[in-house]
Amino acid sequence: MKQALLIILDSLGIGHAPDAAAFGDDGANTLGNIRKAVPGFSLPHLDRAGLTTAEALAAGNHPDTQTPLSTACLTEQSAGKDTVTGHWEIAGAPLASPFATFTRFPDSLVKEMEDTCGVVFLGNYARSGTVILDELGSEHLRSGRPILYTSADSVIQIAAHESIIPLVRLYEICRRCRQIADRERIGRVIARPFEGEPGAFRRTANRHDFSMRPPETILNRLSGAGVEVIGVGKIADIFSGSGIARSFPTTGNADGCSVMDTLLDEAFEKPRLIFSNLVDFDSLYGHRRDPIGYAGALKAFDAWFGSMLPRLDENTLLMITADHGNDPTWIGTDHTRERVPLLMKAPGPSRCLGVRDSFADVAATLGDWFGLSDPGPFGTSFLG
């Protein structure tokens, strides 16, 4: 019985995207700049498996050394560098035109959202999610008005203290805004609950993403062919549940790895894909420009990866990649346009898979692995 484990290390870019300058990111390199910024940093299991080879490929070099896992670097073709865009392309649905982005939402759009939701918002500007709590959290506690903000991504973010606006109400506000966001081509509406007191606000693990429903992806093709698609972390949110049979939301990387351990230990009676996103790299360390924290999270994953890899048999396809970059040494607090690594364990000898033209090669590989007769126009399989 075949299964596949697809792990997204959220924001682990390796630089050198050919169009980085168009995004203001020429020179950004999430993993490379962490290696430079953090003394003594290394990832013994991942580096030995082939991660350093992927970095070399991205930089234009072609090492001759064979690694335990097949290795490639992937180039994003979609017009964007956000989470939804990256994941959709990984699943075989590149975007020809970008989602809409804003530095502030037009007054008419805010009024429509307020009338639809029955609220009056605070804020309406682009800001880091932790900074805006420092700026508007106290006024939110006083007034009870939810905080509206955005970023360089295509996103409507709505923050509220859990003691002021209960989660069920915050989610309903976001769900109603999702209808407007669909018309405006805004990728995500994100509920950002928080707790604490002025000067010590902290976001909780009850974040929920309300994403635009994607076009058909490999997840739908697999589900239609009898493959069980299991989402771990925010995968179900990113794909608006489309093509996903079971979902396991998580509180962070450690919880995500624990869920994967449990799933790998369970018996299964039909082919399945375990599709996991590990978000801490991006949300806790990339956006907060914390290279030391990012390095620590990578080392923790490296240790887990080293213990997990020997457990996989010849009926399990493993692919590890990323959805975009978020260089913690870079200017600003937004994602960075970068190539991403690909590590793959599959039957047969490992190979250097080179520099690929699209993240969608991951989707093509999944279709190939599960033997779909019509996998769709989803790139070129690594298994060819």
SS3 151: coil
* Residues 73, 142 share a domain: no
* Residues 164, 134 share a domain: yes
> What's the pLDDT at 376?
78
For residues 33 and 55, the answer to whether their CB atoms sit within 8 Å is: no
Residue spans of beta strands (DSSP E) within 75-176: 122-126, 147-150, 155-161
* Residues 244, 120 share a domain: no
Please tell me the distance from the alpha carbon of residue 206 to that of residue 192, in angstroms, as a whole number.
8
Residue 102 CB neighbour total at 10 angstroms: 18
Give alpha helix (H) positions in 225-277.
235-238, 253-265
Q: Does 158 map to a domain? A: yes
Q: Does 102 map to a domain? A: no
**pLDDT per residue of the chain (384 residues) written in tens, 0 to 9:** 999 999 999 999 999 999 999 999 999 999 999 999 999 999 999 999 999 999 999 999 988 889 999 999 999 999 999 999 999 999 999 998 999 999 999 999 999 999 999 999 999 999 988 899 999 999 999 999 999 999 988 999 999 999 999 999 999 999 999 999 999 999 999 999 999 999 999 999 899 999 999 999 999 999 999 999 999 999 999 999 999 999 999 999 999 999 999 999 999 999 999 999 999 999 999 999 999 999 999 999 999 999 999 999 999 999 999 999 999 999 998 999 999 999 999 999 999 999 999 999 999 999 999 999 887 788 999 997
* Residues 67, 154 share a domain: no
Alpha carbon 81 to its chain's center:
10
Dihedral pair phi/psi, residue 46, rounded to 5°? -70, -40
Q: Does 255 map to a domain? A: yes
SS3 211: strand
Q: Does 276 map to a domain? A: yes
The CB-based long-range contact list for 366-369 (8 Å cut-off, 24+ gap) reads 366/4, 366/6, 366/218, 366/222, 366/273, 366/317, 367/218, 367/221, 367/222, 369/2, 369/4, 369/317
For residues 157 and 101, the answer to whether their CB atoms sit within 8 Å is: no
The two tokens of residue 232 are 């771990």
Dihedral pair phi/psi, residue 127, rounded to 5°? -165, 155
Residues in the chain: 384
Least Cα distance to 11 among 268, 300, 242, 341 occurs for 341
CATH number for position 225: 3.40.720.10
User: Under 8 Å CB-to-CB from 131, ≥6 apart: which residues?
Assistant: none
* Domain residue limits at 42: 3-96+212-369
* Residues 120, 89 share a domain: no
The two tokens of residue 357 are 């033209």
Q: Does 135 map to a domain? A: yes
Helix (H) or strand (E) holding 26: none
Q: Does 101 map to a domain? A: no
Among 187, 211, 235, the domain-final residue is: 211
Q: Does 282 map to a domain? A: yes
Q: Does 29 map to a domain? A: yes
Helix (H) or strand (E) holding 52: helix 52-58
> What's the pLDDT at 64?
82
CA-angle at 207, arms to 110 and 103, nearest 5°: 35
* Residues 161, 82 share a domain: no
Please tell me the distance from the alpha carbon of residue 341 to that of residue 321, in angstroms, as a whole number.
5
Give the CA distances from residue 198 to residues 19, 132, 160, 162, 195, in Å, rounded to whole numbers and listed in that order. Answer: 42, 12, 13, 14, 10
> What's the pLDDT at 384?
75
Helix (H) or strand (E) holding 273: strand 272-278
CATH number for position 119: 3.30.70.1250
Domain count, the chain: 2
Please tell me the distance from the alpha carbon of residue 245 to that of residue 265, in angstroms, as a whole number.
19
* Residues 341, 221 share a domain: yes
Among 185, 211, 237, the domain-final residue is: 211
* Residues 169, 305 share a domain: no
> What's the pLDDT at 107?
97
Among 211, 240, 258, the domain-final residue is: 211
* Residues 342, 304 share a domain: yes
* Residues 329, 238 share a domain: yes
* Residues 129, 218 share a domain: no
> What's the pLDDT at 152?
85
> What's the pLDDT at 232?
98
CA-angle at 224, arms to 220 and 229, nearest 5°: 60
For residues 338 and 29, the answer to whether their CB atoms sit within 8 Å is: yes
* Residues 355, 257 share a domain: yes
